[in-house]
């Protein structure tokens, strides 16, 4: 008889965990409180415009491909994507613009001209970023940091001997200032701290390896939009026999001594031989296993940033914009001080605009564009979010009007919004934080909760709030690390 596995939540990590458990010959049942699979990776439509609800950046697509390959299925027959030639278009208030090529050599040549920077300096910086990735990926991204076996491996010893190359004791901002003098180029590389919801003035310098993922490994667009990532995996899960219970939230993980016994949902109690929680680790402990020993230090860690998002249907096209676009604040440090120290919004926010209709034409009516407009915010700490939404909207419109030389409000024909309160309500992310805890200290990146329980032998954790972190690639890796702890049942 197949062992029974329950997955709590069908976010991208929950879907990946369900597939990997099915491959291990488990009978898998997924419980999801919402009516659909995918967590933050879903979409909605409004009057002819389609919007991806959440994540908009797609890197490391091989991590999705390998889930199909587990079942000897050609990924291209189920899930397609294209590689972007441009990483992002950057804009500054003084009129400076930079379209960042995905090709590393082209990036070096064009960035050197735009930012009056030495090509060799740029090349050395990117090379060092690649070294950081190569040193850390085998252990940090692919292994559990909470298992003694990880530290007895040759890759771990190699990394420990070269740990001075990782810039662990410096901040990302200090690392970038060590290499460059142009403030705009520093700002461009500082922005990668936001990929895990942190501040470049506090997070570790090891985060400078993130540009390597975009330039050396590429950025991509899934055909069908970001929503297709989760939906293709959901269809695969159905195909291999995974069962889904939608609109059925898990209320409790049942346990006795060192074993979990299953779950109790809003409908019934279910037995299981193992449980994998894709729920935010804070909520998992506080709501599902409140009687268990609580990891107080981890649960007290600073939450990551959240976001205010406007989903705008625009009645014209903008040739100067691409899939990814950044409009930088004039005072980046003040912006992050507001977010993480004051828990407020800056009056001159950095604006990110994602326009999927640049690649998927039917995401907007002919001649129109679908704008996903986002600014980073603090997590919910009791702020007046309706008031902050209005404030943000005015600040965003003022900045875009200045940079693009247009009255953008005249071209907004439909509008939907999102904020930390709604993000928590719709996705279960504690306080609306997008990436669980922040990485605003030297070691916090390495101190996320483990992918397995120390109290219960058959309880495991995946998703952006546990090791190795938030974002689609790391969530997929968390599922692999978690399920690697479980024996196959041939």
68-123 tens-digit pLDDT? 999 999 999 999 999 999 999 999 999 999 999 999 999 999 999 999 999 999 99
Residue 422 binned pLDDT confidence (cut-offs 50, 70, 90) = very high
- d(C-alpha 293, C-alpha 278), whole Å: 19
CA 148 from chain centre, in angstroms, equals 28
- What's the mean pLDDT when you consider all of the chain? 93
Query: Tens digit of pLDDT for each residue in 47-67?
Result: 999 999 999 999 999 999 999
Residue 148 binned pLDDT confidence (cut-offs 50, 70, 90) = very low
pLDDT > 90? residue 203: yes
* Domain membership flag for residue 149: yes
Q: How many folded domains does the chain comprise? A: 2
* Domain membership flag for residue 114: no
pLDDT > 50? residue 276: yes
* Domain membership flag for residue 229: yes
Whether this prediction's pTM lies above 0.85 is answered by yes
Q: Mean pLDDT lowest for which of 36-50, 134-148, 390-404?
A: 134-148
Last residue of a domain, one of 192, 217, 242: 217
pLDDT of residue 206: 86
pLDDT > 80? residue 141: no
Query: Tens digit of pLDDT for each residue in 437-469?
Result: 888 876 666 678 889 999 999 999 999 999 898
pLDDT of residue 56: 94
Range of the domain at 211: 121-217
| SS3 state at 160 | helix
Q: Mean pLDDT lowest for which of 256-270, 327-341, 461-475?
A: 461-475
Nearest alpha carbon to residue 430 among 381, 383, 385: 381
One domain for residues 146 and 193: yes
* Domain membership flag for residue 251: yes
Summarize the confidence of residues 298-317 as an average pLDDT.
95
One domain for residues 125 and 211: yes
One domain for residues 190 and 266: no
One domain for residues 238 and 159: no
**Rounded to a whole number, what is the distance in angstroms from the first to the last CA of the chain?**
11
One domain for residues 212 and 233: no
Q: Is it true that the peptide bond before 468 is cis, omega within 30 degrees of 0?
A: yes
Q: Which helix (H) or strand (E) holds 271?
A: strand 269-271
Last residue of a domain, one of 217, 238, 265: 217
pLDDT of residue 243: 98
Last residue of a domain, one of 199, 217, 235: 217
Residue 132 binned pLDDT confidence (cut-offs 50, 70, 90) = confident
One domain for residues 205 and 143: yes
Exposed e or buried b per residue across 345-381, where buried means at least 16 C-beta atoms within 10 angstroms of its C-beta:
bbbbbbbbbbbbbbbbeebbbeebbbbbbbbbbbbbe
Q: What is the CATH number of the domain that holds 73?
A: 3.50.50.60
pLDDT > 90? residue 152: no
Largest CA distance in the chain: 67
One domain for residues 211 and 228: no
Higher pLDDT residue, 259 or 142? 259
Nearest alpha carbon to residue 197 among 184, 210, 183, 186: 210
One domain for residues 213 and 230: no
One domain for residues 255 and 212: no
One domain for residues 135 and 71: no
Residue 489 binned pLDDT confidence (cut-offs 50, 70, 90) = low
Residue % of the chain over a pLDDT of 90 = 82
* Domain membership flag for residue 336: no
């Amino acid at each position: 008889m197949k062992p029974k596995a329950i997955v709590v939540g069908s976010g991208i990590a929950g879907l990946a965990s369900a597939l990997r458990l099915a491959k291990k010959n488990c009978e898998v049942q997924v419980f999801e409180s919402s009516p659909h699979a995918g967590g933050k990776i879903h979409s909605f439509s409004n009057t002819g415009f389609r919007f991806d609800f959440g994540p908009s950046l797609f890197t490391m697509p091989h991590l999705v491909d390998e889930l199909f390959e587990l079942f000897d299925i050609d990924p291209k027959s189920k899930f397609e994507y294209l590689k972007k030639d441009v990483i992002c278009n950057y804009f500054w208030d003084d009129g400076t613009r930079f379209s960042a090529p995905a090709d590393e050599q082209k990036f070096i040549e064009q960035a050197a001209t735009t930012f009056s920077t030495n090509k060799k300096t740029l090349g050395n910086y990117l090379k060092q970023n690649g070294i950081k990735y190569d040193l850390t990926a085998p252990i940090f991204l692919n292994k559990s940091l909470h298992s003694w076996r990880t530290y007895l491996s040759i890759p771990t010893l190699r990394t420990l001997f070269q740990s001075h190359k990782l810039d662990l004791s410096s901040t990302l901002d200090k690392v970038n200032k060590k290499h460059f003098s142009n403030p705009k180029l520093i700002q461009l590389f500082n922005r990668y701290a936001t990929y895990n919801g942190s501040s470049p003035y506090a997070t570790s310098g090891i985060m400078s390896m993130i540009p390597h993922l975009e330039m050396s490994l590429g950025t991509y667009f899934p055909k069908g939009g970001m929503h297709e990532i989760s939906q293709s995996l959901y269809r695969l899960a159905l195909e291999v026999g995974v069962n889904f219970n939608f609109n059925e939230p898990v209320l409790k993980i049942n346990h006795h001594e060192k074993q979990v016994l299953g779950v109790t949902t809003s409908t019934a109690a279910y037995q299981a031989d193992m449980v994998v929680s894709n729920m935010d680790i804070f909520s998992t402990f506080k709501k599902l296993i409140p009687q268990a020993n609580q990891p107080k230090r981890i649960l007290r860690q600073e939450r990551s940033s959240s976001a205010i998002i406007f989903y705008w249907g625009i009645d014209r096209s903008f040739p100067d914009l691409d899939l990814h676009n950044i409009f930088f604040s004039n005072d980046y440090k003040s912006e992050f001080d507001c977010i993480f120290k004051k828990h407020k919004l800056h009056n001159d926010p950095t604006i990110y605009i994602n326009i999927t209709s640049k690649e998927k034409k039917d995401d907007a009516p002919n001649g129109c564009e679908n704008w996903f407009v986002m600014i980073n915010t603090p997590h919910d700490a009791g702020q007046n979010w309706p008031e902050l939404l209005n404030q943000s909207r005015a600040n965003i419109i003022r900045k875009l009007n200045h940079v693009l030389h247009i009255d953008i409000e005249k071209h907004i024909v439909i509008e939907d919004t999102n904020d930390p309160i709604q993000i928590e309500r719709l996705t279960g992310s504690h306080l609306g934080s997008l990436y669980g805890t922040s990485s605003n200290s030297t070691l916090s990146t390495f101190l996320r909760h483990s992918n397995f329980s120390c109290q219960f032998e058959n309880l495991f954790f995946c998703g952006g709030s546990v090791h190795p972190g938030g974002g689609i690639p790391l969530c997929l890796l968390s599922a692999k690390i978690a399920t690697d702890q479980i024996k196959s049942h041939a």
